[in-house]
Amino acid sequence: MDQDAPFNSHRRQHEPTCLPGTRVDLLQDIDNWADGEDPQPIFWLHGLVGTGKSTIARTVARRYFDQNQLGASFFFSQSTKTVENFVTSIAFQLAENVPALRPHIADTISQYGDIATMSLRDQWRILILDPLSKLQLNSQHAPFILIVDALDECEDSDIQTILDMLTKDRLLTLNKLRIFIASRPQILIQYGISHLDSSYYTSFDLHRIPRSIVDYDITIFLEHSLKGMKEDYSLDSRWPGEENIKSMVQKSQAYLSGLQLPAISCAKEGSNLQSKDSMLF
């Protein structure tokens, strides 16, 4: 079990979810997919560095955890990039989150005492595929969701193994698990997913979002962040003003299709700034 990998692990507790009012359409698309409106069992969200993938993945994880539909989540990161515990961690969470699956997972563990030392592929078959195929879900029951973020952080050989496991026909035809993968468009992942049968996956490129929607989200983000700064620094109530916000949104266009705003982080660190507007630019 990798204690840091689940979205709500102790180490990740301060990592943010989407600010209310942002990513509205995309989150709705993901909800529709998760609730079974789209038949494809895999949703691949991709975008370049800092475009907000992990924030969206956390938001989805939180929402489905709260409604008892999250099967498991595994967030890779610089510090959680090892894959040894990938399968055991997912099995452990599935056993916790899906009570009907628990006895099947417990059975296999009692049969294979040395499971943690087996290859990941064997672990996957024994701990995940076999128990899931025994799970009886009432036909009305929505599938459980598995969320995997930042697969691109792993070594190439591990990416390959994990993709092979996640895209097994035997898993995808079960209709009991929906798999949400968020990553940079790393070549192996892109190749691995785009070569699947189109009935198995749907994908979303964060760069495809129209500029006007990105600008709207950035405006919400800026207003929220600068409100906090205004309070921290006891600034004039009219600060920063609509024009300054517009100008920052415009400047941010050079950087992103997400909400990573270098200006904000610089400003937050600038405790000895001379003028209040120098905090913005």
Ligand X SMILES: Nc1ncnc2c1ncn2[C@@H]1O[C@H](COP(=O)(O)OP(=O)(O)OP(=O)(O)O)[C@@H](O)[C@H]1O
User: Residues interacting with Mg ion, by CB under 5 A?
Assistant: 53-54, 150
Nearest approach, Cβ of 128 to ligand X (angstroms)? 25
Place of tokens 């097994």: 168
Assess whether the previous peptide bond of 240 is cis (omega < 30° from 0).
yes
Say if residue 200 is exposed, middle or buried (CB neighbours under 10 Å; 0-12, 13-18, 19+).
middle
Q: How far is the CB of 195 from Mg ion (least distance, A)?
A: 24
- What three-state secondary structure class fits 205? strand
Nearer to ligand X, 52 or 131 (CB): 52
CB of 119 to ligand X, least distance (A): 28
Binding site for ligand X (CB under 6 A): 16, 18-19, 22-23, 47, 49-55, 150, 184, 221, 258-260
The closest alpha carbon to 208, from 41, 4, 48, belongs to 48
Instruction: CB nearer to Mg ion: give 46 or 53.
Output: 53
| Helix (H) or strand (E) segment spanning residue 160 | helix 156-166
Tokens of 147: 């969320």
Residue in the shown chain whose Cβ atom is closest to Mg ion: 54
Distance of closest approach, residue 166 Cβ to Mg ion, in angstroms? 18
From the list Mg ion, ligand X, none, which binds 260 (C-beta under 5 to 8 Å, kind-based)? ligand X
**Cis amide prior to 6 (ω within 30 degrees):** no
Partner whose footprint covers residue 162, from ligand X, Mg ion, none (CB < 5 to 8 Å by kind): none
